[in-house]
Chain A
């Protein structure tokens, strides 16, 4: 009986305790390093994130290959998809220090499961984002061309706002402009890219 209770307590501590989280469960990162990494990512510096996660990429591929008996290219693709999603969620502050290794492999496993099903299944507990329609390569190729036509300022602004999710207010503070001026500039940049896009698509 004693042993059963102990087992339950161990399981509870495994499931929930942030304070017992260890670097080995978090890609070797200590909590303060994790916080620093997220902060840097939110400021657009992803060097530490890439250093930590890309060095673990092969391990994740191997894990998925052996765990689910899939081929290397499938394991590579789902690891890549999971990494993109993980990156977004880190930037959005939706992942806290705990057992990131477990969470990451769960995400990759979920991508694998999704790729084998026709309908998209939302990742339980981890995915609150809406399902986005598949965007074809031809569309993205046209957008690539349009993007290259944009001036550097527009590229930087659209990237910061739409991709790095930096608010217009923060961008305005950085550049010493007003928020309204930034909004106008963003609108002008959007109009330009739409025009260029129509030219190439």
Chain B
């Protein structure tokens, strides 16, 4: 740090001294903060910098070396499958958390006044992440057979994003949305996520391949997910 050198040599102006010490104090307090967080992370959340699985791995190696070849293959298979599932599910969950609908009033469909009010309220509840309330409102429309393809699509989003996600219900609703000419490309993307959330990998791959083939909405993300699924 050249400035520090100047300070030590006594050739620094008062204002520069202040600046240097401001930086030093900030750096020191950052380090203090890091140490305090490291301790909290370890003590309160069990999070450490180095892998906590090292010792388990060592024990695992001894056990595996004694195990029969067949058992080894089975274990390795499950280990890899599990890791890959975790890997793509992190990305899937990230995409699901970022799904959104439009609250732009211009996008609300024209129709009966009451229906429009329910749609607007359902949209509003969704935007506040009140998925259960939003579901009730969308279902008012589906029960009364007033819902169109986009309503079913939004309802499917709610089932996928609510705290206790119901991916299978979401899949059924997306299929219904598709049959009612809902937004085709968006349905395809959300359907892929719902399939993965429901553990239906083959269906998801089929849907993701469709996105790629059509160069449709979320092509880049679909390609990335497919690559993760292949690993």
Interface residues of A (CB under 8 A from B): 2-4, 6-7, 9-10, 13-14, 17, 19-20, 22-25, 50, 54-55, 57-58, 61-63, 66-67, 72-73, 76-77, 80, 83-84, 87, 99, 101-102, 132-136, 139-140, 143-144, 147, 158-159, 162-163, 190, 193-194, 197-198, 201
Min CB distance A158 to B, Å, is 6
Q: Report how many residues on chain B are interfacial, defined by Cβ distance under 8 Å.
A: 54
Measured between beta carbons, the chain B residues less than 8 angstroms from A159 are 25, 29
* B90, chain A: closest CB distance, angstroms: 5
- Name 14 A/B residue pairs within 8 A (Cβ), A-sorted: A2-B183, A3-B185, A4-B217, A6-B186, A9-B102, A50-B40, A54-B37, A55-B45, A87-B33, A133-B3, A162-B22, A162-B25, A162-B29, A190-B21
Contact across chains for B21 and A83 when beta carbons are under 8 A apart: no
Contact A84 B129 (CB under 8 A): no
B interface with A by C-beta (< 8 Å): 1-4, 7-8, 17-18, 21-31, 33-34, 37-38, 40-41, 44-45, 47-51, 86-87, 90-91, 94, 97-98, 100-104, 107, 127-129, 161, 183-186, 217
List the 8 shortest-distance A-B pairs measured between CB atoms, nearest first.
A7-B217, A22-B129, A163-B29, A76-B49, A162-B25, A66-B87, A135-B27, A3-B185
Q: Which residues of A contact B26 (CB under 8 A)?
A: 162-163
* Nearest CB of B to A60, in Å: 10
- A20-B27 contact in complex given A3-B186, A61-B47, A201-B8, C-beta closer than 8 Å: no
* Contact residues in A for B45 (Cβ distance below 8 Å): 54-55, 57-58
Q: How far is the CA of A13 from the CA of B24 in the complex (A)?
A: 42
Contact B129 A24 (CB under 8 A): yes
Given A9, A20, A54, A73, which contacts B40 in the complex, CB threshold below 8 Å? A54
Instruction: State the Cβ distance, B222 to closest chain A Cβ, in Å.
Output: 13
A14 and B98 contacting across the interface, CB-CB below 8 Å: yes
B183/A3 in contact, CB under 8 A:
yes
With A72-B49, A73-B50, A143-B28: A23-B129 Cβ-Cβ less than 8 Å: yes
Chain A interface mostly: helix
Q: How far is the CA of A193 from the CA of B47 in the complex (A)?
A: 35
**Which residues does chain A contribute within 8 Å of B31, judged by CB atoms?**
140
CB <8 Å contact, A80 and B22: no
Min Cβ gap B110→A in Å is 15
* A194 cross-chain contacts in B, Cβ below 8 A: 7, 17, 21
In the complex the two chains form, what is the Cα distance from A87 to B30 in whole Å? 10
Please, how many angstroms separate the alpha-carbon atoms of A147 and B27 in the complex?
A: 13
Provide the bound-state CA to CA distance between A104 and B226, in Å: 25
Whole-angstrom CA separation of A197 from B7 in the bound complex: 11
What residues of chain A lie closer than 8 Å to B23, measured between beta carbons? 132, 135
> Given contacts A3-B185, A140-B28, are A63 and B94 in contact (CB under 8 A)?
yes
Complex CA distance for A143 and B34, rounded to whole angstroms = 16
Chain B residue at minimum C-beta to C-beta distance from A15: B100
Q: Are B49 and A73 in touch, CB under 8 angstroms?
A: yes
CB distance from B139 to the nearest CB of A (A): 20
Minimum CB distance partner of B97 in chain A: A24
- Flag if B97 contacts A6 (CB, 8 Å): no
A144 to B28, CA, bound (A): 7
Residue of B nearest to A102 (CB): B98
Is the beta-carbon distance between A143 and B1 smaller than 8 angstroms? no
What chain B residues lie within 8 Å of A73 (beta carbons)? 49-50
- A63 proximity list for chain B (CB < 8 A): 90, 94
* Residues of chain A within 8 A of B25, CB atoms compared: 143, 158-159, 162-163, 193
**CB distance A139 to B21 under 8 Å?**
no
Question: Judging by beta carbons under 8 Å apart, are A99 and B86 in contact?
Answer: no
